A and B are shown apart, each in its own frame.
Chain A
Amino acid sequence: MSLLKCENVSMGYEGKVVVEGLDFQVNSGDYLCIVGENGSGKSTLMKGLLGLRVPMSGKIETGDGLKHTEIGYLPQQTVVQKDFPASVREIVMSGFLNNMGIRPFYNKEEKKKAQEIMSKLSIDNLAKRCYRDLSGGQQQRVLLARALCATKKMLLLDEPVAGLDPVVTSEMYDLIESLNKEGITIIMISHDIHAALKYATKILYVSDKPVFYDSKEAYLESEKGKLFAYGEGGAK
């Protein structure tokens, strides 16, 4: 059984289909990259995977004992967060809330775990700093740390490097790769096909109809893949 399974799913809003014919499954340890141009329905699909939006047809299932409260999510930044007075620790800790039930406060174990995760992402020295005063890369790390508090199994990342400079971008990608090597399943949305080809093991390309889904190797052999990989001379 796979962690996440889509059967003939189509997603859209206000009665308009944005993306259809999605048939894929994500297994434990996969690194899936969902690629496509702006407006191709990547974010809508992500919302479907997260259960924030009901698919127009087909079904999305979680399996292998994965509960919905065990998915970590790194959303795109919102306007509200730009001037939100919150310390790094407050934000990171809020990742635990989904598994706390009605218990109102964090326990010692969670505080310790948050500390570990912050050290791992080297943001422990920022714990007391205000989120809005951090650089873009640091902010993404904070949100990633929060996502890690929410999950041990699966991370969904929505454009995790949007707006970051090249150095920070590659640091972020390395970090995500190392998390994947530790056994966390990654589903990442990106319009950066080169990075997708470098890091991912599976590619879901939603701009074309029908949608392409296969391993990275198979993608490189496809017409579109050749165009991207060799035609534009980007990825190796």
Chain B
Amino acid sequence: MNILMESDVMATLARYFELDFVKRAFVVGILIAFCASLLGVTLVLKRFSYIGDGLSHVAFAAMCVAMISSLSNNMLLILPVTIVAAILMLKTGQNAKINGDAAIAMISVGSLAVGYLLINKFPPSTNVATDVCTTLFGSTSILTLSDSDVLICVIMSVVVVIFYIFYYNKVFAVTFDENFARATGIKASVYNTSLAVIIAIIIVLAMNLVGSLLVSALVIFPALSAMRVFKNFKSVVICSALLSVICATTGMLISILNDTPVGSTIVIVDMCAFLLFSIAGFVTGRGRA
């Protein structure tokens, strides 16, 4: 009986994997999950967990504008806008006048409101509700990727990974103690700005996968899970990247088999992993709040 069910599942999966759009979705999904989790460790530790959320709302507004003005390629507008927003957010984080978290919350809800208002007032298609829902929760866009989407994603991921490996130690120093890094002559602002740009790129790419409301889950959950169990930076980064890829793959498989929305399935798998890691951390006495 069990064997029968298993082979049934395998057969279904095999059938799906013959389809090109499923293959594309998996390639893109795994790459995005990998990159998002790499950056996630830095963001969580720098107390910028919310930046992913804020940026994704900015990207949502930009996407609404792009849809209204029916650009040939939405990315041309969304990417620059999000990058600028990312740089601004990281900069205001250091400014004492408006708290970093307040600034992010402000930009975040502001752009959500603007985006929704615009798309309602100037509907690009007859079905506004579906458009908005797709953008917010990424319900189907992952399955409608073209070859060029996949190519962009691969290139971006390679860039992110090269940057991360090459500047790994400096990213660590700037994350752990920015003042020390700056005082001893490391150009912290250069690294902060590069991080901001990369984060923006990842957020925009990840919107395809899980939609703009769920993006920050991809960024923060794997990092937080890894931090429950591991106690040095290198292990946390490696564990978080692996975990993220495993969760994304599992999530996508479940979603294909059970016909659930891709984005929320991945996020729920991430949540389960976090729970497991928390328990593991608690049992081994290694986890701390």
Contact = CB atoms under 8 A, between A and B. Distances in A.
Interface of A: 50-52, 67-69, 71-73, 75, 78-81, 83-87, 90-91, 93-95, 97-98, 100, 104-106, 128-130, 132-133, 143, 146-147, 150, 156
Given A86-B172, A94-B172, A98-B185, A78 B233 contact: no
A146 B180 CA distance: 10
Nearest to B165: A104
Interface in B21-59: 45-47
B184 A95 contact: yes
B68 interface: no
A73 B45 CA distance: 22
Contacts of A50: 182-183
A231 B49 CA distance: 52
Contacts of A132: 231, 288
B16 interface: no
B124 to A, nearest CB: 43
Interface residues of B, number: 32
A39 B173 CA distance: 28
A90 B176 CA distance: 10
A73 B180 contact: yes
B282 interface: no
Nearest to A68: B185
Interface string B182-223: 111110000000000000000000000000000000000000
Interface of B: 45-47, 165-170, 172-173, 175-177, 179-186, 227, 230-236, 288-289
A208 B111 CA distance: 51
B40 to A, nearest CB: 13
A94 B235 CA distance: 17
A27 B220 CA distance: 48
B231 A75 contact: no
Nearest to A102: B166
Contacts, number: 98
Nearest to A130: B231
Contact of B233 (A68, A81, A90, A95): A90
A110 to B, nearest CB: 11
Contacts of A97: 169-170, 173, 181, 184, 186
Q: Which of A67, A73, A84 has the most CB of B within 10 A?
A: A84
5 contacts: A50-B183, A75-B183, A85-B230, A86-B232, A129-B231
Given A52-B179, A73-B183, A90 B232 contact: yes
Contacts of A130: 231-232
A83 B184 contact: no
Contact of B179 (A78, A79, A100, A104): A78
B233 A85 contact: yes
A86 B176 contact: yes
Nearest to B288: A83
Contacts of B170: 97, 104
A71 B184 contact: yes
Contacts of A68: 184-185
Nearest to B188: A52
Contacts of A143: 180
Given A85-B227, A94-B173, A132-B288, A73 B46 contact: no
Contacts of A72: 184
A86 to B, nearest CB: 5
A84 B235 CA distance: 13
Contacts of B288: 83, 132
Contacts of A52: 179, 182-183
Given A81-B176, A104-B167, A90 B182 contact: no
Contact of B289 (A75, A79, A83): A83
A80 B176 contact: yes
Contacts of B236: 85
A150 B185 CA distance: 10
Given A81-B176, A98-B186, A90 B234 contact: yes
A75 B179 contact: yes
B232 A87 contact: yes
B99 to A, nearest CB: 13
A98 B150 CA distance: 38
